[in-house]
């Protein structure tokens, strides 16, 4: 009887952990676009090196949007490096939770496009 109870407990624990990690891996909270000046993009971390960046959405950095880029997004990483200091529009997904090896934020960039800044006088 005790042996059967232990097996059910282990099975239930495995099912709960599998469900949780599946939810974190696949579920997204929101998706959208943001525009601003790409002021920071770097690879950082103690144990897990992840790509992190910041987008200034206001005058003199009044509003900062922090984001992460997954390692498998090689084209986006290269574009971020090339467009640093430029005004860009990013497409992102927001996740409920994250894994340490994915990044520090819940926002993950999927696409980046250079745009004309509304602050520059022509």
Annotated domain spans of the chain: 28-114
Render pLDDT for 41-89 as a digit per residue (tens, 0 to 9).
Answer: 999 988 999 999 999 987 766 789 999 999 999 999 999 999 999 999 9
Mean pLDDT of 92-107: 91
Structure tokens at 31: 């998706």
Share of the chain above pLDDT 70, in %: 96
Which backbone phi and psi does 99 adopt, to 5 degrees? -100, 150
Looking at the whole model, is its pTM more than 0.85?
no
- Whether the Cβ atoms of residue 98 and residue 111 lie closer than 8 Å to each other: no
Structure tokens at 96: 């409920």
- Give the C-alpha separation, 120 to 62, whole Å: 17
Q: Which CATH superfamily groups domain 28-114?
A: Nucleic acid-binding proteins (2.40.50.140)
């Amino acid at each position: 009887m005790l042996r059967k109870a232990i097996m059910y407990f282990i099975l239930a624990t495995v099912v709960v952990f599998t469900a949780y990690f599946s939810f974190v891996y696949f579920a997204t909270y929101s998706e959208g676009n943001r525009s601003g000046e790409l002021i920071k993009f770097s690879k950082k971390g103690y144990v897990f090196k992840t790509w992190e960046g910041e987008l200034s959405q206001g005058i003199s950095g009044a509003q900062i949007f922090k984001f992460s880029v997954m390692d498998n997004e090689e084209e986006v990483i290269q574009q971020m490096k090339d467009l640093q200091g430029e005004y860009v529009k990013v497409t992102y997904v927001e996740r409920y939770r994250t894994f340490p090896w994915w990044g520090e934020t819940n926002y993950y960039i999927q696409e980046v496009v250079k745009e004309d800044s509304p602050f520059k006088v022509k």
